[in-house]
Amino acid sequence: MSKFWSPFVKNLVPYVPGEQPKLAKLVKLNTNENPYGPSPKALAAMQTELNDNLRLYPDPNSDLLKQAVARYYGVQGNQVFLGNGSDEVLAHIFHGLLQHDQPLLFPDISYSFYPVYCGLYGIAFDAVPLDEQFQINPADYAKPNGGIIFPNPNAPTGCLLALDAVEQMLKASPDSVVVVDEAYIDFGGETAITLVDRYPNLLVTQTLSKSRSLAGLRVGLAVGHPDLIEALERIKNSFNSYPLDRLAIVGAAAAFEDREYFDKTCRLVIESREKVVAQLQAKGFEVLPSAANFIFARHPKHDAAGLAAKLREQGVIVRHFKQERIAQFLRITIGTPEQNQALIDALGDL
């Protein structure tokens, strides 16, 4: 039936999401979901919104949520953009801000959706190699470009780039948009949103899927100069003028208001991560320094694909990437203490 396709479709190589297995008893440490549920206040807000109003369209501007985000980060409402998960926000960014004559720059080991968006929107790109320690070197990006994007902490490595290094990249490319994709920033980093008022070329994206445990709700955001936000609004209103539903708006707003629960659950994930790192190192694993809710680890004596397969036989699922430079690493999500222990026990058996 492909005779009905638009010509460009057959050349697309779509993103492959992490497996969502149907078996209930598996210890699922492969998709970086938060082991601690959403804020009870977010759940209560959504329950209250489950009423006859669902027959009415939501606020197309999601002002309630925009103001909650603006208050949280100390910015203005016109510096905030919202979408269905950060993936939709990123799609609009690629479409509206990163289609230029010069190539887009991003790390060679990075979020694998970036090259997919480049294929979708016909954007030339240059994948910049991470250094030998799998770190981003800002000097490598100080060259002609049509934009720069990178996750911070990087995924799947978990490595964090310090804010002064981010600033170095902003200063080196003042005529390009620099997008800092902060899906995991709350697990050990400092957000670059503090820099947006000083750098009109900076755009920071975040998601409520990780640290706020709302992956099932699909809410993402971007913060930057009003001129950048206006470009995204123009794209959004030419594509889907009501992206966030009524439940998402009130639930996400309540999640931002509940700082106490957010701080507590982030702290629990960080404490568990440090414990798992120590346990894996004791078993001979090399673990990259992580500021995310996952770790990236390899064992000098065990093939990563084989380890992943054997762990699966024991009911524990982790993520393995086939990409050449990282084919010997496993990306392991930090779960509950019980899930983490199940991982360690399964490795002990191997």
Both 17 and 124 in one domain: the answer is no
* Short-list 194, 312, 213, CA closest to 256: 213
Listed residues 258, 277, 312: the one ending a domain:
258
Q: What is the DSSP string of 274-316?
A: HHHHHHHHHTT-EE----SSEEEEEBTTB-HHHHHHHHHHTTE
pLDDT of residue 1: 56
pLDDT over 70 percentage in the chain: 99
Helix H or strand E encompassing 206: strand 202-207
State the residue range of the domain holding 339. 2-37+260-349
Amino acid at the residue 200: P
Both 208 and 231 in one domain: the answer is yes
Q: Is the pLDDT of residue 18 over 90?
A: no
pLDDT of residue 133: 97
Cβ-contact 335, 320 below 8 angstroms = no
Listed residues 224, 258, 292: the one ending a domain:
258
CATH number at residue 63: 3.40.640.10
Both 84 and 31 in one domain: the answer is no
pLDDT over 90 percentage in the chain: 92
Both 13 and 135 in one domain: the answer is no
Both 55 and 161 in one domain: the answer is yes
Using pLDDT thresholds of 50, 70 and 90, give the confidence band for residue 25.
confident
Listed residues 211, 242, 258: the one ending a domain:
258
Q: What is the mean pLDDT of residues 20-35?
A: 87
Q: pLDDT digits over 124-176, tens only?
A: 999 999 999 999 999 999 999 999 999 999 999 999 999 999 999 999 999 99
Q: Is the pLDDT of residue 17 over 90?
A: no
Both 218 and 309 in one domain: the answer is no
Both 244 and 295 in one domain: the answer is no
Both 56 and 203 in one domain: the answer is yes
Amino acid at the residue 151: P
Both 205 and 126 in one domain: the answer is yes
- What pTM value is reported for the model? 0.95
Q: pLDDT digits over 248-300, tens only?
A: 999 999 999 999 999 999 999 999 999 999 999 999 999 999 999 999 999 99
Q: What is the mean pLDDT of residues 60-64?
A: 97
Q: pLDDT digits over 82-106, tens only?
A: 999 999 999 999 999 999 999 999 9
Domain count, the chain: 2
At 81, phi and psi to the nearest 5? -120, 145
Distance from C-alpha of 94 to C-alpha of 111, rounded to nearest angstrom: 14
Q: What is the mean pLDDT of residues 179-194?
A: 98
CATH number at residue 31: 3.90.1150.10
What is the edge-to-edge ordering of all strands in the sheet holding 104-107? 80-83, 220-224, 202-207, 178-181, 148-151, 104-107, 125-128
The number of residues in the chain equals 350
Both 249 and 185 in one domain: the answer is yes
Distance from C-alpha of 210 to C-alpha of 7, rounded to nearest angstrom: 36
Q: pLDDT digits over 201-257, tens only?
A: 999 999 999 999 999 999 999 999 999 999 999 999 999 999 999 999 999 999 999
